Amino acid sequence: MAIAVFYVHRMNYFNARFGSTIGDKVLVMCSQHLATTLIQPADYLFRWKGPAFIALLEREDAVAQVEHDLQRLLATPLSQYLETATRTVFLPIKLTGSTVPATATTSAEVRDWIERYILRSSLETRLSK
């Protein structure tokens, strides 16, 4: 069993520039992408606070292989054309993620790991503008 965290970059920009309706569409699109490309029948996908998701992944593979598979799937661009009230916009959507073994940690350690990953990802987004 592995725990995965996913972060949707630039959500503050999407919401500020195009409104929360477009931001919500981006989040739905990301969740659908994760559900169709990564999630298997024994897995669970959850929305985390902010522009993030977590998943419980039940795999026979080693965590390193699960991480490799996750990075391969996230390498596929999610950029999308979306309709606003007045125009069509092309949004370059970046979704990143990472995994940790579920068996070797406590729930508090997992929560801290998720929060640190989200913080690092959000800082990376701010610094790359």
- Whether the pLDDT of residue 107 is over 90: the answer is no
- How does pLDDT run across 12-23, given as a tens digit for each residue? 999 999 989 999
Residue range 38-72, pLDDT digits in tens:
888 999 999 999 899 999 999 888 888 889 989 99
Helix 11-18 with 20-37: angle, nearest 10 deg: 140
Domains and CATH numbers, the chain: 2-127 (3.30.70.270)
Which H or E run includes 97? strand 95-101
Enter the pTM of the model. 0.89
User: What Cα–Cα distance (Å) separates residue 62 from each residue in 52, 112, 115?
Assistant: 24, 22, 24
